[in-house]
Amino acid sequence: MSAPILAATGLTKRFGGLLAVDGVDFEIARGEIVGLIGPNGAGKTTFVDLLTGVQMATSGSIRLGERDATRLSAHERSRLGLARTFQIPRPFQDMTILENVMVGALFGVGGRAVGMEAARRQATDALARAGLGGLADRRTDILTTSGRKRLEIARCLAAQPMLLFLDEPLGGLNATEVNEALDLIRTLRDGGVTIVFIEHIVPAVMSVSDRVFVLAGGRKLAEGKPAEILADGAVRRAYLGDVGGAVRRYRPAATPAGGA
């Protein structure tokens, strides 16, 4: 693997007596798509919170390229090239959908210097790519769950990140929309964006990831190519087993995907 653009060592987060993330080592190279899977409560969201600075780690360290990012705040990491969607969408409710996305364009990685008009154009473009074109001037409360997830993605796109974390972005999407989203993820990667992708829809993760990273009980359970992970006994017992039926029933073209 070439020099990682992000590397975490011994990353740990303690909530009182609970070790939500427990000494996890993680690396990702430029241009990779890494699927992050694990049962409910495995610590996936908390792990991404730690990497993006939304929460501070109890211990462990994080490097972004050459820099020690362990103590950097979320906005500083964003400016260094990170962006993330939230599993539970966090729209800016008192703004239009376009304005929501403009925040990404104005303050994210690519946008620090652009003026309002340029930000408006970039935001419009990001909305179209995320499938929300035409809703620019509406308020966020008209959006459905899947619309909110798309808005999360659009805001990140406008920020032009080099490393993008997607926390269950497919919730509420139907099968066609899931495939569109996966295409978007591949397109982004082809455009040079590195991606960490959390998702419970296992076939979706497997189809798009170069590498899969499995968390269970806050610890790394396994890591490897999608085929290796699918064949891994420990992973099957801890995670895939309980959704095995769903995996077998999953038909990308016909069945609607489950909710968030």
Partner 1 sequence: MKPEGRSLFARHRDLLLLAALVVLAAALSTRLGPYGLRVATMVFMYVALAQSWNLIGGYAGLISIAHPAFFGTGAIAAAILLINGAGIPIAMLGALLVSLAVALCIGLPTLRLQGHYFVVATLLVSEALRNFVLNLNAFGFSGGIAVNLVGPLGLTRMGPAEYNQLFYFVMLGLAAASVLVVLGFERSRWGLALRAIRDNQTAASALGVAAARLKTMVFMLSAAIASIIGTAWAFWLGTVETNEAYNLLITFEIIVMVFLGGRGTLWGPVIGVVLILMLNESIGIELAELTQIVSGLIVVLIVLFQPDGLIRITTDGLAAFAPRRLAANFRRYRVT
Ligand X SMILES: Nc1ncnc2c1ncn2[C@@H]1O[C@H](COP(=O)(O)OP(=O)(O)OP(=O)(O)O)[C@@H](O)[C@H]1O
For Mg ion, the binding residues (CB under 5 A) are: 44-45, 87
| 8 Å CB contact between 260 and 168 | yes
Kind plus residue range of the DSSP H or E element containing 13: strand 4-15
- Residue ranges that bind partner 1, judged by CB under 8 A: 52-54, 73-75, 78-79, 83-84, 86, 90-95, 99-100, 102-104, 106-109, 111-112, 116-117, 119-121, 124, 136-137, 155-156, 159
Helix axes 145-159, 175-190, angle to 10 degrees: 10
Residue 90: CB atoms within 10 A of its CB come to 13
Binding of residue 147 to ligand X (CB under 6 A): no
Near ligand X by CB under 6 A: residue from 6, 11, 20, 69: 20
Contact code string over 63-102 relative to ligand X, x by CB under 6 A: ------------------------x---------------
What is d(CA 235, CA 244) in angstroms, rounded to the nearest whole number?
A: 11
List the single partner that 137 binds among ligand X, partner 1, Mg ion, none, CB under 5 to 8 Å by kind.
partner 1
Nearer to Mg ion, 43 or 131 (CB): 43
Minimal distance, residue 93 CB to partner 1, in Å: 5
Binding of residue 178 to ligand X (CB under 6 A): no
Helix axes 145-159, 97-107, angle to 10 degrees: 30
Minimal distance, residue 78 CB to partner 1, in Å: 4
Give the up-direction half-sphere exposure of residue 225: CA atoms within 13 A in the CB hemisphere.
2
Binding of residue 45 to ligand X (CB under 6 A): yes
Q: Which residues contact 108 (CB under 8 A, 6 or more apart)?
A: 78, 79, 83, 156, 158, 159, 160, 161
The angle subtended at Cα 39 by Cα 36 and Cα 45, nearest 5°, is 50
Binding of residue 38 to ligand X (CB under 6 A): yes
Provide the pairing of β-strand 163-167 with 67-68: unpaired
The angle subtended at Cα 166 by Cα 162 and Cα 167, nearest 5°, is 150
Binding of residue 41 to ligand X (CB under 6 A): yes
Nearer to partner 1, 77 or 211 (CB): 77
What is d(CA 204, CA 126) in angstroms, rounded to the nearest whole number?
A: 23
Question: What's the maximum distance between 2 C-alpha atoms anywhere in the chain?
Answer: 54
Minimal distance, residue 255 CB to ligand X, in Å: 20
Near ligand X by CB under 6 A: residue from 11, 37, 42, 206: 42
List the single partner that 60 binds among Mg ion, partner 1, ligand X, none, CB under 5 to 8 Å by kind.
none
Nearer to ligand X, 59 or 176 (CB): 59
Q: Which residues bind ligand X (CB under 6 A)?
A: 15, 18, 20, 38, 40-46, 87
